[in-house]
With several copies, the nearest count.
Chain A
Amino acid sequence: MEVTINGEPKSVPDSVRIAELIDFLELKKERVAVELNCFIVARKTWEDISLKPGDKLEIIHFVGGG
């Protein structure tokens, strides 16, 4: 199914869970935070929440800054 991640359209497995998505994207769980449709998704709930088509995700991490 199609979702939007960080502004880019992305095909992901149907009703993929966020935890699975993080693995799918080969990201380090403990380094990122996730917003689903503008609400932060607490890390501990990643296992439970699965995506629907058209969902909008923001996945952020820390970068160099002052």
Chain B
Amino acid sequence: MATGCEDILEIAGQKIRSRLFVGTGKYAGSQQMKEALEISGAQVVTVAVRRVNISDRSRESLLDAIDLEKYILLPNTAGCYTAEDAIRYARLAREAGLSDWVKLEVIGDEKTLYPDNEALLQATKVLVKEGFIVLPYTNDDPVMARKLEDLGVAAVMPLGAPIGSGLGIQNPNNIRIIKEMARVPVIVDAGVGTASDATVAMELGCDAVLMNTGIAGAQDPIRMAEAMGLAVRAGRLAYLAGRIPKKSYATASSPAEGMVAR
């Protein structure tokens, strides 16, 4: 039996099996998305809130492809540039999804898609008061993380790098500090480009990793989804196992004594 299985993530009282959270955007089709979700082992999946296409009913709804018994939906407020918009989308999401969870994004800039932290704090205040389980997408600023915590978020989700950039964790020191200071789970959100990026995030002590483009944009999304599932588990176990210290020089792994006579 594998070790570390008793190591369960809990957010706002909800036990979560997998420390990999995945998005549902940018897949070639819903069949591909379903397979990717399945093999990734993820339980929490993010979705966006958009208008129904009333002129063309043909298009199947995303939710037909997602087994709600198996997955926890985490609606986002992607595309919102003001606190008002983000609050409006969060409320629509709650109405449509019958769940209080929201990945709160208030974007501050089109090129980086970095958050507008001022507006994020305003929106967080309102939504927490309305009983939402708020998981805010923020930058890697420990001061922001603490302010969000003080407002009552369920977790903080610092970015590792710009959304979809695939640059990996640009500032591991900040992520580590955020985790050391945090009293709520820390989820690295955005920037993961390949498996080792996810492993590094977990080795820093983070509680989970959220990604979308890193999987959906890979040449073979299914394989990458499997890779990410393994990578997150590997990073978590390595963190729990306690790595060896780094040294500039070598230490033999075979015994020095017992050599035959020269």
CA of A33 to CA of B53, assembled, Å: 13
CB pair A66–B52 under 8 Å, yes or no, is no
CA of A26 to CA of B52, assembled, Å: 11
When distances are taken between beta carbons in the complex, the residues of chain B under 8 Å from A27 are: 52, 54, 57
> Closest CB of chain A to B187's CB: distance in Å?
13
Q: Flag the segment in B6-14, B70-78, B141-149, B197-205 that touches A.
A: B70-78
CB pair B96–A66 under 8 Å, yes or no, is no
CA of A34 to CA of B54, assembled, Å: 13
CB pair B54–A6 under 8 Å, yes or no, is yes
CA of A6 to CA of B47, assembled, Å: 19
Known: A62-B62, A62-B96. A7 touches B261 (CB 8 A): yes
Known: A6-B51, A35-B92, A40-B95. A63 touches B23 (CB 8 A): no
CB pair A66–B92 under 8 Å, yes or no, is no
In the complex formed, the residue of B with least CB distance to A27 is B52
Encode contact with A along B149-166: 1 for CB under 8 Å, 0 otherwise.
Answer: 000000000000001100
Encode contact with A along B39-63: 1 for CB under 8 Å, 0 otherwise.
Answer: 0000000111111111101000111
CA of A61 to CA of B92, assembled, Å: 9
Q: How large is the interface on B (under 10, 10 to 19, 20 to 34, 35 or more residues)?
A: 35 or more
When distances are taken between beta carbons in the complex, the residues of chain A under 8 Å from B253 are: 65-66
- Is B258 interfacial (CB 8 A cutoff)? yes
Q: Please tell me which one of the listed residues A28, A40, A59 contacts residue B51 in the complex, with CB atoms under 8 A apart.
A: A59
CB pair A65–B78 under 8 Å, yes or no, is yes
Would you give 19 A-B contacts (Cβ < 8 Å), ordered by A? A26-B57, A27-B52, A28-B61, A32-B96, A42-B95, A60-B52, A61-B96, A62-B48, A62-B96, A62-B97, A63-B254, A64-B26, A64-B27, A65-B48, A65-B49, A65-B50, A66-B25, A66-B26, A66-B252
Chain A to chain B: the 7 pairs with minimum beta-carbon distance, closest first:
A65-B48, A66-B253, A66-B212, A66-B23, A65-B254, A33-B95, A33-B96
Task: Give chain B's interface residues, CB within 8 Å of chain A.
Answer: 23-27, 33, 46-55, 57, 61-63, 73, 75-76, 78, 91-93, 95-97, 163-164, 190, 210-213, 252-255, 258, 260-261
Q: A62-B63, A66-B210 are in contact. List 14 more A-B contacts (CB 8 A).
A: A25-B57, A28-B61, A35-B92, A60-B96, A62-B73, A62-B97, A63-B25, A65-B76, A65-B253, A66-B23, A66-B24, A66-B78, A66-B253, A66-B254
